[in-house]
Amino acid sequence: MPAVSKGDGMRGLAVFISDIRNCKSKEAEIKRINKELANIRSKFKGDKALDGYSKKKYVCKLLFIFLLGHDIDFGHMEAVNLLSSNKYTEKQIGYLFISVLVNSNSELIRLINNAIKNDLSSRNPTFMCLALHCIANVGSREMAEAFASEIPRILVAGDTMDSVKQSAALCLLRLYKTSPDLVLMGEWTSRVVHLLNDQHMGVVTAAISLITCLSQKNPDEFKTCVSLAVSRLSRIVSSASTDLQDYTYYFVPAPWLSCKLLRLLQCYPPPEDGAVKGRLVECLETILNKAQEPPKSKKVQHSNAKNAILFEAISLIIHYDSEPNLLVRACNQLGQFLQHRETNLRYLALESMCTLASSEFSHEAVKTHIETVINALKTERDVSVRQRAADLLYAMCDRSNAKQIVAEMLSYLETADYSIREEMVLKVAILAEKYAVDYSWYVDTILNLIRIAGDYVSEEVWYRVIQIVINRDDVQGYAAKTVFEALQAPACHENMVKVGGYILGEFGNLIAGDPRSSPLVQFNLLHSKFHLCSVPTRALLLSAYIKFINLFPETKATIQEVLRCDSQIRNSDVELQQRAVEYLKLSSIASTDVLATVLEEMPPFPERESSILAKLKKKKGPGAISVTELEDSKREGGELNGGSDRGPDTAAMSASNASTPSPSADLLGIRSAAPINAAPAGAGSLLVDVFSEAGPAAPSTAVNDDGFLRFVCKNNGVLFENQLLQIGIKSEYRQNLGRMYLFYGNKTSVQFASFTTNVSCPGELQSHILSLISEVIASLSS
């Protein structure tokens, strides 16, 4: 159909647009545009004042050129002039221009605000709407300053027309979002809530968006909206399709309004009032029931509108998380959608179920759909749908299905889109760690990850597997064996070499007995990959080699040969060169004892939060709230390496096994080790002088050898301990200054009375050390 313009067609504009479309090349287009710009410029500068129509036409042309993608640096003044015209279309074009080409010139802003103010006070609803639209479109700070107090007044005034109220509500919303400090709560706030009861559905539709946003920031102020929203929703849901006339959309009553009402209710917890709550539950049940009824129309618009309400209702049910019956029904409904013909519905069902999976009421119900979801992962043609399926598997994973889900995710990873691989790797790593009962399965999974998607296995993942293998005795042998086998593949990923190098370096001795993995075989295997690796990996391998020298003296000659060669000790990379030289020297001059001490097995790593989780959260970004919640629930149960205490732990550490505090913060574990209770004041009397063995006058000269050694080598630790008392020390030294804190822990259940301490510098030390001893500070009870 030929383009006919209604009302007044601007012929010149149409001709110009045709010209542009007829241009055969970009250069021709630019030429034509420049010609027009010159024309318009001369007309604007001309001595003859332009009439409104021409001005409108030229401003519109400029707008068109701008929207094509070219820069416009004039015309603002003329556009602003149009605002003061009495002709509606001229005003309209003027407003459109300044909304699209926002200018920060203060003089222009002043004029614009003036024009808007005039239109707002004109009492002409069409002009008022134009002005309000402009403010909503631009929403600048200057406009907020000028109008933030006026607009609420317009909104709630009794004589404002409905169409103006609608625009005012959304205009105020825009201002509130961009300049919340300028929109002050006032008398108007309670009247705004009552707009929910307005008889004009359009006013309600517009007002509710405003109320939703305000409620999020000031929930108490607006909480009366909940009951009003429920009754409004209830009226809509139970209405016949003819009741709402033009607000019925393809046989669905007021779908937009229904969705908005359900959204508003998600800003608040379930209503406390029993009657309101009952009505709401009834509403939700009606919506769920309607989904099962045969559709009133075959058109996709009907089903989209109906399902939009359904999905929003399910969101509300999930948000409340308190009605088990509704949650299970919601889950079943979503389960049906999982296999729907329409891709959109399958996508939304997978997405919605993800949130449902984290609710304790429906978690089990969600799990029943695991086969469908796995099938979706394998067979869906749309990658976005497959990704939702992967997300859902992650969310529904728990101890009972972890192995199955991890296996499915691994096989999906083999063919997954590159853009999602890194996230998948992180998720598989998290699941494998969290639900590992048998850690050899965990090691297998991570090694598989490296094999399948090595490029996307970030450092955090392979650091973690090493940390876990180091900390768990029971899996070290298995890890060594598996990694050895994995390295035998002709082309293995560099990350595999890193992990393999480290593990064999630490635990290669556990498999050295078997002739197929004898020390030399292990070394040759690692060294065969050496030249293929990057510098950091090679550095790691060099460290593994020196560990081999310690573990397997028979390999010393071979390895030294390697270290000695020019490509190592004269390597252009400083780190490699240094390592080669130092390791070579170390292996030559150190006695076996020293070597063994230096290259002792790595101590277990302290407990800390998995950095993998942190990385996943960072990837997901601030928007994905539901994912973070899932992570929290996943984190709680993850108790890793519980109960394995080995290595040179201080006595205090092994005593404090109950919780896992970070050692450096909790001073020497005194608080957790000593079962002190705040003894009531009356129980202060000592039955015996418990320290009588020590003798009152003479300071104890018994040298605690063990404690002395510890004191010499360590800054922090337990100096002395017996059944009654634990003495701990924390010291720091800086050049010639040192500070020591001595802590006395009461291990009995009664308070010490008359407890004094005496610190002395005997003999020679007195002249060497200038000591300042302060008094015992107040005792701490735990």
Contact set for other proteins, span 8-47 (CB under 8 A):
8-11, 14-15, 17-18, 21-22
**Which residue's CB is nearer to other proteins, number 18 or number 325?**
18
Q: Which listed residue (33, 96, 327, 510) binds other proteins by CB under 8 A?
A: 96
Instruction: Please tell me whether residue 63 binds other proteins under the rule CB under 8 A.
Output: yes
In 3D space, the residue among 407, 552, 535 whose CA is nearest the CA of residue 524 turns out to be: 552
Query: Phi/psi at 369 (nearest 5 deg)?
Result: -95, 15
Applying CB under 8 A, the span of 23-31, 85-93, 104-112, 426-434 interacting with other proteins comes to: 85-93
Are 548 and 522 in contact, with CB atoms under 8 Å apart?
yes
| Dihedral of the alpha carbons of 249, 254, 260, 266, in degrees to the nearest 10 | -120
Stretch that binds other proteins, among 87-95, 110-118, 694-702, 739-747 (CB under 8 A): 87-95
Count CB-CB contacts under 10 A for residue 340: 15
What is the per-residue burial (b if ≥16 Cβ within 10 Å, else e) of 165-186? bbbbbbbbbbbbeebeebbeee
> In the stretch 488-507, what mask flags binding to other proteins with x, by CB under 8 A?
--------------------
Query: Minimal distance in Å, beta carbon 1 to other proteins?
Result: 5
Residues 279-308 vs other proteins: string with x where CB under 8 A? ----------------------x--xx-xx
Residue 136 interacting with other proteins (CB under 8 A): yes
Q: Rounded to the nearest whole angstrom, what is the least distance from the CB of residue 168 to other proteins in the complex?
A: 10
- Measured between alpha carbons, how far is 609 from 722 in angstroms, rounded to an integer? 34
- Considering only 23, 32, 43, 64, the residue that binds other proteins (CB under 8 A) is 64
Q: What does 156-218 look like in DSSP terms, one character per residue? A: H-TT--HHHHHHHHHHHHHHHHH-GGGS---THHHHHHHGGG-S-HHHHHHHHHHHHHHHHH-
Q: Give the tokens for residue 494.
A: 């560099």
Q: Give Dmax over CA atoms of the chain in angstroms.
A: 114
Q: Which residues have CB under 8 Å from 33's CB, separation 6+? A: 20, 65, 68, 70
- Candidates 58, 222, 268, 347; binder of other proteins (CB under 8 A) is 347
What is the CA angle 563-567-569, rounded to 5?
A: 55
Q: Of 4-12, 224-232, 331-339, 598-606, which part binds other proteins (CB under 8 A)?
A: 4-12
Q: Does 343 bind other proteins (CB under 8 A)?
A: yes
Q: How far is the CB of 87 from other proteins (least distance, A)?
A: 6
Residue of 331, 291, 287 lying closest to 313 (CA atoms): 287
φ/ψ of residue 170, rounded to 5: -75, -25
Q: Is 375 a binder of other proteins (CB under 8 A)? A: no
Pairing of strands 737-746, 252-253: unpaired
Cα separation, 742 vs 178, whole angstroms = 57
Stretch that binds other proteins, among 163-171, 403-411, 511-519, 574-582 (CB under 8 A): 163-171
Nearest distance in Å: CB 194, other proteins: 19
Q: Is 170 in the site for other proteins (CB under 8 A)?
A: yes
Considering the rule CB under 8 A, would residue 423 count as an interface residue with other proteins? no
- Per DSSP, helices labelled H in 251-299 are 255-265, 274-292
| 225 interacts with other proteins by CB under 8 A | no
Q: How many CA atoms lie within 13 A of 582 on its CB side?
A: 12
Neighbours of 236 (CB within 10 A): 23
- Reading the block at residue 348, the tokens are 């939304």
- 123 near other proteins, rule: CB under 8 A: no
CB of 139 to other proteins, least distance (A): 7
One of 226, 257, 410, 546 touching other proteins (CB under 8 A): 257
DSSP string, 435-447: T-SSHHHHHHHHH
Q: Which residues contact 638 (CB under 8 A, 6 or more apart)?
A: 433, 434, 610
Task: Please tell me the distance from the alpha carbon of residue 749 to that of residue 585, in angstroms, as a whole number.
Answer: 56
Single-letter amino acid, residue 13: L
Quick one: which of 40, 131, 173, 676 contacts other proteins (CB under 8 A)? 173
Residues in CB range of 243: below 8 A, 6 or more apart:
253
Closest distance of CB 308 from other proteins, Å: 4
Q: Is 333 in the site for other proteins (CB under 8 A)?
A: no
Q: Which is nearer to other proteins, 135 or 676 (CB)?
A: 135
354 binds other proteins (CB under 8 A): no
Work out which of 36, 78, 119, 312 binds other proteins, going by CB under 8 A: 312
- What would the DSSP string read from start to end of 536-587? HHHHHHHHHHHHHHHH-GGGHHHHHHHHHSHHHHT-SSHHHHHHHHHHHHHH
**Helix or strand or coil: residue 769?**
coil
CB of 343 to other proteins, least distance (A): 4
Q: How distant, in Å, are the alpha carbons of 442, 461, 531, 540 from that of 503? A: 15, 15, 19, 11
Q: Which stretch binds other proteins (CB under 8 A): 338-346, 503-511, 649-657, 690-698?
A: 338-346
The stretch among 134-142, 434-442, 595-603, 662-670 that binds other proteins (CB under 8 A) is 134-142
- In degrees, rounded to 5, the angle at the alpha carbon of residue 105 between the alpha carbons of residues 103 and 108 is 85
Q: Considering the complex, what minimum distance in angstroms separates the CB of residue 60 from other proteins? A: 6
Stretch that binds other proteins, among 243-251, 507-515, 576-584, 683-691 (CB under 8 A): 243-251
Q: Tell me which stretch binds other proteins (CB under 8 A): 345-353, 399-407, 422-430, 568-576.
A: 345-353
**Residue 634 Cβ vs other proteins, minimum distance, rounded to whole Å:** 21
Question: Using CB under 8 A as the criterion, what x/- string covers residues 577-616 for binding other proteins?
Answer: ----------------------------------------
Cβ neighbours for 455, distance < 8 A, ≥ 6 positions apart: 421, 493
Q: Which of 60, 230, 317, 428 binds other proteins (CB under 8 A)?
A: 60
CB of 367 to other proteins, least distance (A): 25
- CB-count exposure of residue 209 (10 Å: 0-12, 13-18, 19+): middle
Comparison of 107 and 342: residue with beta carbon closer to other proteins: 342
> Taking CB under 8 A as the rule, does residue 178 contact other proteins?
yes
695 is an interface residue for other proteins by CB under 8 A = no
Identify which of residues 7 and 294 has a Cβ nearer to other proteins in the complex: 7
If one asks whether residue 346 binds other proteins (CB under 8 A), the answer comes out as yes
Minimum Å distance from CB 191 to other proteins? 19
Q: How many residues bind other proteins (CB under 8 A)?
A: 84
469, 438 in Cβ contact below 8 A?
no
Tokens of 638: 């993850």
CB 548 within 8 A of CB 528: no
Rounded to the nearest whole angstrom, what is the least distance from the CB of residue 624 to other proteins in the complex?
7
- Of the pair 312, 422, the CB lying nearest other proteins is at 312
Residues 611-650 interacting with other proteins (rule: CB under 8 A): 621-625
Q: Is 708 in the site for other proteins (CB under 8 A)?
A: no
Among residues 79, 83, 93, 486, the one that binds other proteins under rule CB under 8 A: 93
